Structure 1
């Protein structure tokens, strides 16, 4: 699958084109799985910690999806917006991750820690779904 939108993002300098790497793809997905398991297996963990770990897992899985298509991004927010073109997520799903990105930035850079448990739970569920969807892209990758 090729995407004119992703190619256009390369043209304007928002994405970089780079040959897909099975090793990098698998490393990113393994990182995403490890971070998500930490959230789901840890009872009593603060909501803020759960949020950060689930957000980082979603980011790693989104980067893996981009890498499967031969792209790389240096913009954290853009990997979520590209999910529409990599795994076919509709805007109503990836926009939740975009909201989480904005909340994460507000917490990290401004000290505004407004991370409700309901948003964290939604993030955890979407991240699990994202990891499953991204895992299905492995057939596109060359064997390293």
Structure 2
């Protein structure tokens, strides 16, 4: 974990310090796990799978941020912080950046533009985040 980078974000008021809450973190991991499992169901529409995978990735990324004692009001920043909370390479969170932009277009402008490659890439990154979060000692 890169505490210095996260503390710099606190100084510019992009993140806030907040004591980790094991119940909250466990709930986020549980929520992310269920959504990730459902996102893998090929019987669902691509749009539903995208939505489930995106929200799974967000819940798991937020769990990692909360584990380290930080909170953000920005979904985008939660994803960006993965390089500091879980040492996720920037190329991986850039997949989340692309998904975030597509999600915002769908949510705020009604433009649903997802394809199978994006969904599969999003699933792969979310599964990696899931594995990394599961390696944390959440009950510390």
Distance in 2 (alpha carbons) for counterparts of 1:99 and 1:4: 26
Question: In the alignment, which residue of structure 2 is the partner of 1:91?
Answer: 90
**CA RMSD of superposed structures (Å):** 1.3
**Secondary structure in 2 matching 1:138:** coil
**Cα displacement (A) at 1:90:** 1.0
**Secondary structure in 2 matching 1:115:** coil
CA contact (8 A) 1:22 1:138 kept: no
Question: In the alignment, which residue of structure 1 is the partner of 2:27?
Answer: 27
Question: In the alignment, which residue of structure 1 is the partner of 2:125?
Answer: 126
TM-score scaled to structure 1, two decimals? 0.92
Q: Which runs of 4+ in 1 moved over 6 A?
A: none
Is 1:38–2:38 an aligned residue pair?
yes
Question: In the alignment, which residue of structure 1 is the partner of 2:72?
Answer: 73
Cα offsets for 1:49-90 (capped at 9, x unmatched) = 000000000000000000110001110100110000000011
Alignment gaps of 5+ in structure 1: none
**Cα displacement (A) at 1:19:** 1.1
